[in-house]
Amino acid sequence: MKRFLPLAILLALTACTTTLTNLTPRTAQRNPNGLYPVEVMWDSQQADIKKDTIKGYVVVGEDAYPMHRSPMLTNRWEALLPIPTDKDFVNYRFKFDYMYLKIPAPQPSSKMSAPYQLQVVDR
């Protein structure tokens, strides 16, 4: 039993990982409508997450903008982020809320990404 304990711990640590990978470029050309696409990849090996409860957001300060799944890629999420014309950059994070299976009833949880910055440059 003792020789399987390290393997069991390693499997437990790697089996429950959820990673958020920012797919948004660091800079974007300024556009007249002030909306800039952001995209993130959600990758989770956590089997107890109820997939139909996952909701993604882009968080800027106190504002949270809802994201939606990319049409053909179920692990990619996207949104249009509004950036005022007087701003040259915005700091943002990705946040995902979801339910996971737990006895006696499912419980809420969330995952927040590291902070990122999108710089808007003139042409």
Asked whether the beta carbons of 76 and 40 are under 8 A apart, the reply is yes
Tokens of 122: 């003139």
pLDDT tens readout for residues 7-62? 445 445 445 688 999 999 999 999 999 999 999 999 988 889 998 999 999 999 99
Say how far apart CA 9 and CA 46 lie, in whole Å.
15
> What is the CATH class of 18-121?
mainly beta
Domain assignments of the chain as residue spans, ordered by start: 18-121
Burial class from Cβ neighbours inside 10 Å (0-12, 13-18, 19+) for residue 3 reads: exposed
Place of tokens 């499912």: 106
pLDDT tens readout for residues 100-113? 999 899 999 999 99
Say how far apart CA 30 and CA 85 lie, in whole Å.
8
pLDDT value for 107: 93
Q: Average of pLDDT values for 56-76?
A: 94
CB atoms within 10 A of CB 33: 8
pLDDT value for 47: 87
**114 pLDDT above the threshold of 50:** yes
pLDDT value for 77: 97
